[in-house]
A and B are shown apart, each in its own frame.
Chain A
Amino acid sequence: MIQITDLEKFYKTEEVQTIALNKLSFNVKEGEFVAIMGPSGCGKSTLLNILGLLDDPDGGSFMFNGTEVAGYNERKRSELRKHNIGFVFQSFNLIDELTVFENVELPLIYTGVKPVERKKQVEAVLEKMQIMHRRNHFPQQLSGGQQQRVAVARAVVNNPKLILADEPTGNLDSTNGNEVMDLLIDLNEAGTTIIMVTHSEHDAKYSHRIIRMLDGQKVTENILA
């Protein structure tokens, strides 16, 4: 599903050029669950942004479902992103002014789904995430675990082929963290490809494969299952 070859990304300040990704290459197959690990500043988040089509690489190739997307403009990336990719963030990134229902509904609005259909889909996913009873609450009224469940619901409501998770349990206690990991496993078992950036060895063990990075390069790759 994903093939990256010699991927490069630089950050320039006035005087210094920092290499965030240095000729990075790997593949992810459809239905895989890949964990990416490494110390802070090793380029994990940059990689995730590029994989999520939020950012553009400066060099190399990025094939998504057999198509080269490295040179895509903002509009094309956005189009591809909203139909294929879901995001789960460490800090949940829910919109405070919207209710649980409205938060989950957002991706459907932006992909142009009709209101009746939206309601059906949102309710189904809230049900699945066991958060239906909180549908009219605002994010601030929920616990961290509940908030992340809403975030996951929002990520999957569109039935994306790929979920990108950036430290999904980073802000959660272990009980809530495990619950979120179980959710991701369920999704993966149902066929969704998942790429997860994490610091937690515990969470990484849920994946099929762990890619370890240092200074923008792949160091090791362990296959767990």
Chain B
Amino acid sequence: MYSIINISGLAIGMAATMLIGLWIYDELNYNNHFKDKTTIAQIFQHESSNNIIETSPAIPRPLEFALRQDYNDNFKHIIMSSWEQPRYLNFGETTIYRTGNAMQEGAPEMLNLDIISGEKNGLKEMNSIMISESTAKTLFGSETALGKIIKVNNEDDLVVTAVYKDIPSNNSFSDMEYLIPWKFYVTTQPWLENAKDSWGNNSFQAFVQINENTTMEAISAKIKDVKKIGDPSEAEFNPEMFLFPMEDWYLRSDFENGVQSGGRIENVWLFGIIGLFVLLLACINFVNLSTARSEKRATEVGIRKSIGSQRSQLIFQFLSESFLIVLLSFVVALGIVLLFLNGFNNLASKAIEFPWSNIQFWLVSLLFVVITSVLAGSYPALYLSSFNPVAVLKGTFKSGRYSSLPRKVLVVAQFTVSAALIIGTLVVMNQIQFSKDRPVGYEKEGLIQIPVMSSEFLGKHEVMRTQFIASGGATSMTTLSGPTTEVWSNRSGYNWEGKPVGFQEDLAYTNVNYDFVETLGLKLIEGRDFSREFATDSNAVILNKTAVKYMNITNPIGKYIRDSDTEDPFTPLKIVGVIDDMIVQSPYSPVKQAMYVFEQYGNIAYYCLRLNPNKSTSDNLALIEGVFKKNFPNTPFDYQFVDEEYGAKFRSEERIASLARVFTALAIFISCLGLFGLASFVAEQRTKEIGVRKVLGASISQLWLLLSKDFITLVVIALLIASPIAYYVMGQWLQKFSYRTSVTWDVFAIACFGALIITLITVSFQAIKAAAANPVKSLRTE
């Protein structure tokens, strides 16, 4: 019984810690696929407006020319890149929708792409495309991909010049399923020509690999003012360029007012601590139960000593016993890890493999086994071996009054950790629920968006809208220049009546269409939706509530926003409506000031449709697909549910919450296992006392109370220690969300109540068993 509790408790703890360890290892080794990880960077810029510094990877196109001209000797590669973008890739009957980038020639070499067939400089020719192995398989099956022609977005024919191995999932660019030449991108997108000289158009990314004789910091210092020098008029935003090292991309990607402020690394720390705690709990159990048991072995020690065993032999015996048990637990733990690795990968969205061949892993494991054995074995080894055999055998040996004190301290430590984990998990779950309950400002259910990013869709949206509605699958439609759940464009440089002097605005910008308010189910506060009845609506804008406040416009309806501070070459935008804020970006942050401008220059990325509420979703989708296929027979019908896209915003926190739940449950389980073992030990130790008390008239409930009271006291102490710690730590954690819940008393009430109930249940089993025993038998154990 003790051995089962001991081994399984320790094994579960070890397994949990191993899983967390593997997760952390995977996180820390993000981007390890790139052998030049330490010398690769992305160029970022800080820009300030109204004294707030924002940091972003979006850079202007002229930066490339300036870098090449004045700073070229610092870099091995300077690679301009588009944003990752989905495109239709067609070959024969097969059309697929894949994401990829347009990059300059050196990219495959810098990213160390593993070329399966073709050549590394596959971006050299204008009409070429490099594709990943899995993309090649989907498009060409077992046929050779090399030299085949792929039709991209139903417009351009590109020749496959190389197939590269898929980039493993725990790396940046792992979604890069194709690469097309930058020069092809520049040639086919006319607006890039205009962007060539515009330092204000931050629509690109640039990656660099630095030379070995220099450092990121040194180069960052050199290129800091490139933008200001390139265009002095940009100086008002105080732009500062710098290199953001690849090593920091994944774990330290957050910036707060221009200062790097962590990121996922916090989760690594969090789970590292949880892992250590779980392991600590398991070790505490092991030590506690081993030492508790060892006192029962006093007689054995007496006998061994009386027949001539040396003290050193006894010490060796206890230590090797403990080592064997820990080793056995470790083997069981390995089994548990292998069994649950898949489930864990699903839970954590990972593709971790067991590190059979990783020497580090085995060394750490061995070290751990040895340390735990010594910890658990040394108390019995040193203490028991010191017993006087005569006293032990005569039965006059008694363990000291305070011999149970260390055990009590350890139980308190265990429950402090468990209670803190319970409170922490509850707060994380509360925060997620709180943000999910936040009104989004539009009706996200029954809304789909269809990506329409190629030119074949141009100008067809009114026709499509009529057909979609006529089919009965949708009740209304509008178009969007970016998805409902993201801001793709931010703009500044406007002028309006009452604009404060020197105000540097920063507005989220989306092009929308007729029936915008109706389709999304937005709440109009003032004015109206875009309407076909007003010819002037082609130059109209709807603002959100925050924008009206931010721009300080009173009575906004009918007022104008001009496109420039100076002489205005464009028609001004007339404000026709104000809507209640809709959450587009983080559900944890305040809604950003946003302008929804009537569609201009065919800037349409999505058709957004309100499904017919009187039909089932599958019927609606079938009808919509029918219309879509009739008009665009060669384009796959692709769509997203807006509510699912919105739900995805919680994924990272939900993943943390589900991991936290699992490990909290484990921590509680391990603690209870230990408590159960200790309770049965104590009940056994007090058998005589229970018998005596029973003879003297104690009832079962009185005895149950007597036995449980001590444990309850320990748990109450643990709760008193854990509560303020958890309150402080979770309070700090919540600070990172501007839209946040608070740490409320009910969280503590639930945690305390839960911990006490769990303790009582665990302890009661043993207590009642002992209390109900026949006192005659208890007294006979003398």
Contacts and interface: CB of A to CB of B under 8 A. Distances in A.
Nearest to A154: B696
A54 B689 contact: no
Interface of A: 49, 52, 54-55, 75, 78, 81-82, 87, 89, 91, 93-97, 106-107, 110-111, 140, 154
B496 to A, nearest CB: 82
Given A89-B779, A96-B398, A110 B702 contact: yes
A93 B688 contact: yes
Given A95-B689, A96-B398, A110 B776 contact: no
Contacts of B259: none
Contacts of A75: 699
Interface string B688-720: 110111111111001000000000000000000
Contacts of A110: 693, 696-699, 702
B696 A107 contact: yes
B695 A95 contact: no
B565 interface: no
A32 B398 CA distance: 39
Contact of B699 (A78, A106, A107, A154): A78
Q: Which 6 A-B pairs have the closest CB atoms?
A: A82-B697, A110-B697, A107-B696, A93-B692, A95-B689, A49-B776
B716 to A, nearest CB: 20
Most chain A beta carbons < 10 A, residue from B398, B694, B695, B698 = B695
B533 interface: no
A114 B694 CA distance: 20
A95 B685 CA distance: 12
Contacts of A154: 696
B587 interface: no
A82 B694 CA distance: 9
A78 B692 contact: no
Nearest to A164: B695
Contacts of A107: 696-697
15 contacts: A54-B774, A75-B699, A78-B699, A81-B695, A81-B697, A89-B779, A93-B688, A93-B692, A93-B779, A95-B692, A97-B689, A106-B698, A107-B697, A110-B702, A140-B398
Nearest to B702: A110
Q: Is the interface of B mostly helix, strand, loop or mixed?
A: helix
Contacts of B689: 95-97
Interface string B741-782: 000000000000000000000000000000000111001001
Contacts of B774: 54-55
Nearest to B694: A78
A97 B775 CA distance: 19
Contacts of A49: 776
A93 B775 CA distance: 12
Nearest to B689: A95
B308 to A, nearest CB: 30
B775 A54 contact: yes
Contact of B697 (A55, A78, A89): A78
Given A93-B692, A94-B692, A106-B693, 5 more contacts: A78-B699, A91-B782, A95-B693, A107-B696, A107-B697
Nearest to B693: A106
Contacts of B688: 93
Contact of A55 (B691, B696, B776): B776
A140 B776 CA distance: 23
Contacts of A140: 398
Contacts of A54: 695, 774-776
Given A91-B782, A96-B398, A140-B398, A111 B697 contact: yes
Contacts of A96: 398, 689
Contacts of A87: 695-696
A57 B774 CA distance: 14
A46 B689 CA distance: 20
Nearest to B691: A93
Contacts of A89: 779
A81 B695 CA distance: 8
A106 B696 contact: yes
A82 B398 contact: no
B779 to A, nearest CB: 7
Contacts of A78: 694, 697, 699
B691 to A, nearest CB: 8
B695 A52 contact: yes
A203 to B, nearest CB: 20
Contacts of A52: 695
A75 B779 CA distance: 19
A75 B695 CA distance: 12
A75 B692 CA distance: 16
A140 B395 CA distance: 13
B776 to A, nearest CB: 5
